[in-house]
């Protein structure tokens, strides 16, 4: 919206309460996104909504939960190479109110504590979707209360019955759960609940995208702003169709009524492994919340890794700083190994060195954040560069031996490195980091016992 367009909606009284001399001056600043429209206290609710809707990003940023929030939306592109994908989809696990409460507690605790260390980051799951399978308000409310008191992760409350929803919201609305879902029959009541309890609302409409858009309009006209879409997509690879259409509607057509994050249910009709495949499709193609029906670390770990990969900024590789890193309290007799400053590379080898329990030194070369072979092929992990780095960090004065272990993938630089570092012994390590423990045990031990 331009300043003039915004101005049309303002009271035009120049009352200055916003801190600007005139309504027009204020409108201009809002158009430049320098101030927020909410600074005008005289604006009608209706006008504020119109202006906000027009100036919000193509996919609205929605946050769910209170502590470890799920934040999704605000995406700007269809393909990650065009810029980047910003907000990783939330992966949540479904629990039904017909399940044994004891089992539920331990599952909830297990999932809340579940985490994987990868590339120096902690990857975890993001919440729970509680389903009212019993159709009973008490069971559902009890489950909601119990899960809420055993986790700080966000919740999705799933019931199509407004009275059941109300009962649960009455107890846990302060957690800001996502309400699932308003449909064509119950939308009036669900909308009211979302407004009363200030919670985000899912709009479910499987008949088609125009029907979905119509329902979203009805709900947002009544004042609900935080919306999640459920187009009820099929449990197959065809779901990519609908997910792509929605993303294009939001981004290419700037169609506001479909400019919200999407929730998907890859587990509903599938085995564990199929669920993982569909969840993978939904991670790469545009889901905002993915509800899983299984919690099995052997598939969760790969899914979390995929999510991290797809949402990595393609413009800048994650790097660590060049330097010499002590691992397991090394001495001057401890082995020295060299690697590059690509974060993934560094953490792969550093992690293995650490778990080998061998004290050692890890020298990290500046390659601009490239993997071992990429850096070598790009001329940035050469014998000369390694020799220079050794001098730069004064390695020779900090260790009392003259041996250096190089990655197995760059065995070809051994000769050149011998020339660059006269008097040094160049040891070719294993190719994969996971074999470094054994290498140190056999090759390094043999080396020092000479």
Residue with the CB atom nearest ligand B12 in the bound state: 429
Look up residue 366 and give its two tokens.
């500046």
Residue 370 binding partner per list another protein, ligand B12, ligand SF4, none, with a CB distance cut-off of 5 to 8 Å that depends on partner kind: ligand B12
Provide the pairing of β-strand 121-123 with 70-72. Answer: unpaired
CB nearer to ligand B12: give 278 or 433: 433
Q: How many CA atoms lie within 13 A of 189 on its CB side?
A: 15
What whole-number distance in Å separates Cα of residue 406 and Cα of residue 337?
6
Alpha helices in 291-360 (DSSP H): 297-310, 343-356
Q: What is the DSSP letter of 440?
A: I
* Segment 425 to 444, residues that bind another protein, using CB under 8 A: 432-434
Considering CB under 8 A, how many residues would be counted as binding another protein?
57
**Interior CA angle at 307 toward 268 and 310, to 5°?**
125
What whole-number distance in Å separates Cα of residue 206 and Cα of residue 222?
22
Residue 276 binding partner per list ligand SF4, another protein, ligand B12, none, with a CB distance cut-off of 5 to 8 Å that depends on partner kind: another protein
In the shown chain, the binding pattern of residues 342 to 371 toward another protein, with x for contact by CB under 8 A and - for none, equals --x---x------x---------------x
Residue 11 binding partner per list another protein, ligand SF4, ligand B12, none, with a CB distance cut-off of 5 to 8 Å that depends on partner kind: ligand SF4
Q: What is the CA radius of gyration of the chain?
A: 28
Residue 450 binding partner per list ligand SF4, ligand B12, another protein, none, with a CB distance cut-off of 5 to 8 Å that depends on partner kind: none
Look up residue 381 and give its two tokens.
């992990």
CB nearer to ligand B12: give 287 or 372: 372
Maximum Cα interatomic distance, the chain, rounded to a whole number of Å: 90
| Residue 114 lies near another protein (rule: CB under 8 A) | yes
Q: For the chain, how many residues are written?
A: 450
- The residues that touch ligand SF4, with contacts defined as CB under 6 A, are 10-11, 13-18, 20, 23, 26, 40, 42
| Residue 377 lies near another protein (rule: CB under 8 A) | yes
Q: Cβ of residue 285: shortest distance to another protein, in angstroms?
A: 6
* Segment 38 to 77, residues that bind another protein, using CB under 8 A: none
Residue 13 binding partner per list another protein, ligand B12, ligand SF4, none, with a CB distance cut-off of 5 to 8 Å that depends on partner kind: ligand SF4
CB nearer to ligand SF4: give 26 or 85: 26
What whole-number distance in Å separates Cα of residue 200 and Cα of residue 70?
12
Enumerate long-range contacts of 142-149, CB under 8 Å, 24 or more apart. Answer: 142/97, 142/101, 143/95, 143/97, 143/101, 143/104, 144/168, 144/171, 144/172, 144/177, 145/171, 145/172, 146/101, 146/104, 146/105, 147/95, 147/104, 147/108, 148/172, 148/175
Residue 392 binding partner per list another protein, ligand SF4, ligand B12, none, with a CB distance cut-off of 5 to 8 Å that depends on partner kind: none
Q: Cβ of residue 5: shortest distance to ligand SF4, in angstroms?
A: 14
Phi then psi for residue 310, to 5 deg, are -65, -35
Pick the closest to residue 204 from 270, 263, 154 (CA basis).
263
Residue with tokens 């459920």: 230
Residue 20 binding partner per list ligand SF4, another protein, ligand B12, none, with a CB distance cut-off of 5 to 8 Å that depends on partner kind: ligand SF4
| Residue 274 lies near another protein (rule: CB under 8 A) | yes
What whole-number distance in Å separates Cα of residue 91 and Cα of residue 71?
12
- The residues that touch ligand B12, with contacts defined as CB under 6 A, are 317, 337-339, 342, 344-345, 348-349, 369-374, 376-378, 405-409, 429-430, 432-433, 436
CB neighbours (10 Å) of residue 434?
A: 14
Look up residue 369 and give its two tokens.
């954040």
Near another protein by CB under 8 A: residue from 19, 120, 223, 297: 297
Phi then psi for residue 407, to 5 deg, are -60, 140
Please report, as ranges, the residues that interact with another protein according to CB under 8 A: 79-81, 114-118, 208-210, 213, 234, 236-238, 240-241, 244-245, 248-249, 252-253, 255, 273-274, 276-278, 280-281, 284-285, 296-303, 305-306, 309-310, 312, 314, 344, 348, 355, 371, 374, 377, 432-434
């Amino acid at each position: 919206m331009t300043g003039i367009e915004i101005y049309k909606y303002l009271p035009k009284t120049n009352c200055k309460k916003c801190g600007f001399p005139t309504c027009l001056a204020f409108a201009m600043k809002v158009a430049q996104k320098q101030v927020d429209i909410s600074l005008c206290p005289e604006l009608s609710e209706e006008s504020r909504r119109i202006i906000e809707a027009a100036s919000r990003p193509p996919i609205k940023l929605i946050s769910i939960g209170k502590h470890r929030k799920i934040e999704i939306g605000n995406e700007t592109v269809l393909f990650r190479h065009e810029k980047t994908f910003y907000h990783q989809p939330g992966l949540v696990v479904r629990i039904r109110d017909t399940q044994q409460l004891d089992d539920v507690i331990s599952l909830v605790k297990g999932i809340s504590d579940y985490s994987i260390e990868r590339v120096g980051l902690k990857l975890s799951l993001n919440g729970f979707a509680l389903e009212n399978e019993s159709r009973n308000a008490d069971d559902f409310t009890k489950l909601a209360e119990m899960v809420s008191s055993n986790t700080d992760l966000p919740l999705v409350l799933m019931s199509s019955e407004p009275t059941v929803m109300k009962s649960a919201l009455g107890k846990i609305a302060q957690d800001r759960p996502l309400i699932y879902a308003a449909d064509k029959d119950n939308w009036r009541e669900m909308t009211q609940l979302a407004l009363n309890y200030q919670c985000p609302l899912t709009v479910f409409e499987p008949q088609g995208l125009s029907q979905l858009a119509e329902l979203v309009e009805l709900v947002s006209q009544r004042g609900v702003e935080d919306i999640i879409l459920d187009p009820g997509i099929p449990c197959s690879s065809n779901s990519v169709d609908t997910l792509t259409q929605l993303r294009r509607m939001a981004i290419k057509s700037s169609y506001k009524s479909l400019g919200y994050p999407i929730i998907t249910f890859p587990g509903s009709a599938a085995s564990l492994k199929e669920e993982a495949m569909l969840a993978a499709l939904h991670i790469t193609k545009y889901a905002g919340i993915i509800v899983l029906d299984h919690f099995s670390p052997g598939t969760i770990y790969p899914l979390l890794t995929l999510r991290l990969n797809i949402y990595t900024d393609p413009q800048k590789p994650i790097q660590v700083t060049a330097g010499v890193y002590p691992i397991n309290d090394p001495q001057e007799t401890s082995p020295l190994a060299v690697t590059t400053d690509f974060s993934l590379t560094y953490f792969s080898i550093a992690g293995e060195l650490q778990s080998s329990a061998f004290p050692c030194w890890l020298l990290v070369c500046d390659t601009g954040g490239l993997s071992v072979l990429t850096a070598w092929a790009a001329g940035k992990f050469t014998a000369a560069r390694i020799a220079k780095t050794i001098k730069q960090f004064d390695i020779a004065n900090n260790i009392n031996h003259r041996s250096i272990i190089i990655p197995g993938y760059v065995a070809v630089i051994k000769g050149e490195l011998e020339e660059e570092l006269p008097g040094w012994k160049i040891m070719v390590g294993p190719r994969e980091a996971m074999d470094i423990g054994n290498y140190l045990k056999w090759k390094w031990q043999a080396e020092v016992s000479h």
